[in-house]
Structure 1
């Protein structure tokens, strides 16, 4: 085998984060007896969240700060006097209960039983463990590494050091990372000197000059890269 270890991103790679996020937000707003339509606040929330996650990748904020800050900014924007920190905690609980897999995720992982499969995700430890633990992929992975547990996030080399130490990996040529984010997954893999596979189901144009080893548009296409 060309590779022995495959590092998988979670959100928008193996799991449909758009659906997960929407359902969790809806349930949290309902719990607070808010009558706002989801469509009223979701675009604003997504814009705020996108900025903060980008700042996290760049090391300008922390995961702990990101959690409450996104709702603090949202509630300021739409004029709601809600405790952002408390709302965030309730949202994370709901997020952990949402399991929406990407098409082909179960089939792909079942075809990769001869490989060491690992999760590497920029996310909250309890949330990601709950989602994966409650999914059909609960027994598919040897190790689940979150940025919260590692103390750093993709594309920082530190999270890859953490994974390699946990799994006692010594040969980078035997490792492939698969993910949807050019700036996080692919750039992180390039920085660390491992091969990369960009999962690009929507066929987005790559305008960043970040060159993955492979590009796939459906998860099952990964098998042709191995």
Structure 2
């Protein structure tokens, strides 16, 4: 196999984060007596994505996202509630909910059987990501897990990828592949580091950044290798 080291993103790459987040959001809404329709989650989802995109380019600190997104959501739907309480319940539920894509384990097995070394690279809150990874049953596939919250830097920064490289013995860029769904964090990380990237294009949009490989879903990566 051309690649010896595979750097997998977590959310919306191996984990079905949209399904996870919607479930936890609606359950939290019910607890707090707020509207719990899918349309409400769609409003929150756009707000949340806006803030995480800002985080990826270093325009906002993660801790601010955790409450600002719910403040904006409350203002948008015209309901009063405690953003801090919503955030606390929601984050707790996220850490205890883990939904993988159906093909995730077979893809990880494939690369393992090919002799590749697997690593997880993710932007997120430490206790949430650690909890979900532990519950998922896939933790042991990875030699190491690099979480932005623990590293004090995030994808796609050069500081982040350098810490990843430094944390992997025998790392060679020519033998590494990044697999992820985000142009802002994963594809840009590949560009910043000179590492090949497999872009999972869930939306079917035309990529605005150069990619090495492009697939519609994780399962299609098996057709490439």
Calculate the TM-score normalised by the size of structure 2.
0.93
Q: Is 1:10 aligned with 2:16?
A: no
Tell me the equivalent position of 1:116. Answer: 117
Residue 85 of structure 2 is aligned to residue 69 of structure 1: no
Query: Which secondary structure does the structure 2 equivalent of 1:118 belong to?
Result: strand
Unaligned runs of 5+ in 1: none
C-alpha separation between the residues in 2 aligned to 1:201 and 1:83? 34
| 2:136 aligned with 1:130 | no
In 2: Cα distance, 1:19 partner to 1:223 partner = 23
User: Is the CA contact (8 Å cut-off) linking 2:30 and 2:36 kept in structure 1?
Assistant: no
Moved more, 115-124 or 82-91: 82-91
When residues 107 and 44 of structure 1 are mapped into structure 2, their CA distance, relative to the original with a 3 A threshold, is same
Structure 2 CA distance for partners of 1:149 and 1:204, relative to 1, 3 Å: same
Does the residue aligned with 2:137 lie in a helix, a strand or coil?
Answer: coil
SS in 2 for 1:198: strand
| 1:179-190 paired onto structure 2 within 5 Å | 179-190=180-191
**Cα distance in 1, alignment partners of residues 4 and 197 from structure 2:** 14
CA contact (8 A) 1:106 1:136 kept: no
Output aligned runs, 1:79-118, within 5 Å. 79-113=78-112, 114-118=115-119
Given that residues 9 and 185 in structure 1 are in contact (C-alpha distance below 8 angstroms), is that contact kept between their aligned partners in structure 2? Answer: yes
Q: How does 1:28-67 map to 2 (within 5 A)?
A: 28-32=28-32, 34-67=33-66
Q: Quote how far apart the aligned CAs of 1:148 are.
A: 0.6
Alignment RMSD, CA only? Answer: 1.6
| Contact 2:27–2:36, Cα closer than 8 Å, also in 1 | no
Structure 1: 4+ residue segments shifted above 4 A: none
Cα deviation digits, residues 145-186 of structure 1 (max 9, x gap): 111111111111111111112223442111110001112101
Residue aligning to 1:211: 210
**When the two structures are superposed, what TM-score results if normalisation uses the length of structure 1?**
0.92
How many residues of Structure 1 are paired with residues of Structure 2 in the alignment?
223
Task: Identify unmatched segments of 5+ residues in structure 2.
Answer: none
Q: Is the 8 A contact 1:104 1:218 kept in 2?
A: no
More divergent stretch after superposition (187-196 vs 169-178): 169-178
Structure 2 counterpart of 1:193: 194
